[in-house]
Amino acid sequence: MKQLLTILIILSLLLTGMAGGAFAEAAAVDYTTGTPWLCSNLEGVVTADTPAELKDDYALAVNKDALLMLEIPEGRSYGGTTMDVTLKQAEDIKNMFLGDAPQGHDALLAYNLFHLMMDWDSRNALGIAPLKEEIDRVEAIGTLDALTAYFLETPIESQAGSLWSAGVAVDFVDSTREILSVGSCTLFLNDSAEYAALTNYGAVRKAVVTELAQKMLGKLDYSEADAQRKIDNCFAFEAMVAPVIYTNEQQRSADYHTRIYNLYTREELTEAQGKLPVIELYEHMGYPAVDQYMVKNPAFLDRLNEVYTEENLPLMRDYMIVHDVISSASNLDRECYEWRVAYDNAVDGATGIVDDATAFSSSVAKILEWPVAQLYTETYLKAEDKARIADMINEILEAYHGILEEADFLSDETRVRAIEKLDGMKTRVLYPDDWEKYSCEGLEIASPEAGETYWRATKKILAYKVSQIAEEFTEPVDKEKWGMTPQIVNCFYNPQDNSINIMGAFAQGSLYNSDMSDEEVLAKLGVSIGHEISHGFDRTGAQFDKDGNLTNWWTEEDLKKFTERNARLAAYYDAMHPWEGQNYYGSIMTGEACADMAGMKVALRIAAQREDFDYDAFFRAYANTWLMKMTLQRTYAVINDSHPMSYLRVNCTLQQFDEFLDTYGITEGDGMYLAPEDRVAVW
């Protein structure tokens, strides 16, 4: 009863205003009813009285004391180990901008942008005026022909929300070239499935969109009734196209890459686009005429062409306006900025506000990612760490041969190709060695003192990036170029160039430092490296060959066995529940879960070769990696994520291995026990 009362109190504090009303039904849920383990990541679930035994719930037992003490930081939706590293990264980047202006063109771009963000006098003086100019142009669209002309005559950086996406992708089948890709529009409810059956979380998103849009449109001098009409029209348009937009579950399915790889000739796309200026928009963006396009969702293109009519013009126009006011709020004056912060907090269940310097330095690191990357690298990253981690990666890659060689479901033919892929993996560690290809030469952003404004600077940056992407489009894909910047707290595998990427900001603080024991380094960074390698052999990565091309390198029988193993893994997660009545979606989790388990397996292979290895310290360090406490809204979002929740990444992964069970004497009847015949690790 005490636990349930605690959760109800937390819910009453978290779910305020309109968002609270959307979650009214959820308040009756007992969040302590998770199976087979308590959802210990959810804020308020773990109390001092909560039983926590290593043999029954390892994640909870190791992390309980830390969870009880852990407070979610202001303006954030979760706290824990990865958040601590994220906060360190944010503090480091902030400190780069608080001193004197740096030397060098690119570093000065980032410095000036930061101080433009901080220039509230200028931002408040401009107020809503820059956005009003954009909205007035959309309001002036009175015919379908005028809408088409708007797309083809308005500078890309000044256009309101688009009805479809016009992007560029590396060709799945030929990874040496890029291809123009036509995609769907964005939806406020994030998942197209919400438009068929609105969930509690979807209701929260709809409520907070409505609230912010009302405020922003009111500031633009629309009446409350007119503003609500625009919001209703926006959602009406989204409801028209949502049935043919891939759901989140479909986007995370094993066949998603194959599903969206639909090649159209210029003639075929001309016919398919009908009244839509799809091809013409690319040319307006600066792309050359091409003979082939990738249409990710032909059904969406058909539906959009159907609804692109004079009758639906008010809906399309209001969709563009509402999306523009929501996305622009944080770039305007202080009032709009704080409204946007409240919007984000309501969606995530966060409270409070991150201080301006921290928030804006983090934003600059995303907007001008490469200028910040070089400055961050020069300030904080060390060559000796890069060398040590590179050696670790090579050791793990070598050990991974054993996993592939011992996989009893592979034929010799498939095994040879798998090992070829492993041997062909590129590694990117902490930061690039050559910065020349990441230069922002040609972009100029003046300081606040020189009369520049933040709004104008953001438009210059967007225009510059659009032109750069278009300019590079005709060149062969540079597979040596990094796709993510060193200041990102992340690691990833890129199937299209067969590379593992360990970012500099990830290998910091409590995830990696020079004072860690070998057990800690292997548990935190080593398992993560093994995880990224394993993505090359998960249900998605396994569809790409050693050169990064979407092609089948499996025998028919091996692929069938591999698919069956993934299905078994999905069923394992389907049987779990964060609380009674709430499902997990095993079908979307198998890629990450497969990588978690294989990453642990290769780390244990290395551990077995080390004298006097402390398995208890290793497993505890791994559990600490996934220490996390989340708000309810974030928990709902994570349930639908391809990554299992943190407590599952600990318990589900570890119970697959005898080394873990033996370390703690876990046997049948214990909550952490999983019989050998029930284990589901794909590799």
What is the secondary structure of 289-337 as a DSSP string? P-SEEEES-HHHHHHHHHH-SSTTHHHHHHHHHHHHHHHHGGGS-HHHH
Question: What confidence score (pLDDT) does residue 27 get?
Answer: 57
The phi and psi torsions of 415 (rounded to 5 degrees) equal -60, -40
- The residue to which tokens 């950086």 are assigned: 157
What is the CATH number that goes with domain 128-331?
1.10.1380.10
Class of domain 31-71+383-432+482-683: alpha beta
Q: How far apart are CA 59 and CA 57, in angstroms?
A: 6
Confidence of residue 640 (pLDDT cuts 50, 70, 90): confident
Per-residue pLDDT reduced to its tens digit, 23-46: 444 458 999 999 999 999 999 999
Strand partners, 493: 500
Strand order of the sheet with strand 491-494? Answer: 426-430, 499-503, 491-494
318 pLDDT higher than 50: yes
Q: Is 179 helix (H, G, I), strand (E, B) or coil?
A: strand
Q: Model-level pTM? A: 0.94
Q: How far apart are CA 74 and CA 682, in angstroms?
A: 40
Q: Is 181 helix (H, G, I), strand (E, B) or coil?
A: strand
In 3D space, the residue among 149, 171, 153, 151 whose CA is nearest the CA of residue 161 turns out to be 151
What is the secondary structure of 22-61 as a DSSP string? HTTGGGG--TT--BSS--TTBTTS--TTS---TTT-HHHH
For the chain, the farthest-separated pair of C-alpha atoms sits apart, in whole angstroms, at 77
Verify cis geometry, omega within 30 degrees of 0, for the bond prior to 486: no
In the 8-state DSSP scheme, what is residue 27? G
Structure tokens at 171: 């060709």
Structure tokens at 420: 């070829």
Question: What confidence score (pLDDT) does residue 312 get?
Answer: 98
Per-residue pLDDT reduced to its tens digit, 64-82: 999 999 999 999 999 999 9
Task: Compute the residue count for the chain.
Answer: 683
Higher-pLDDT residue of 26, 411? 411
Structure tokens at 590: 């198998």
434 pLDDT higher than 60: yes
CB 635 within 8 A of CB 540: no
Question: What confidence score (pLDDT) does residue 11 get?
Answer: 36
Question: What confidence score (pLDDT) does residue 3 get?
Answer: 37
CB 510 within 8 A of CB 80: no
256 pLDDT higher than 90: yes
- What is the number of helices (H) and of strands (E) in the chain? 30, 9
14 pLDDT higher than 80: no
The domain locations on the chain are 31-71+383-432+482-683, 78-127+355-380+445-478, 128-331
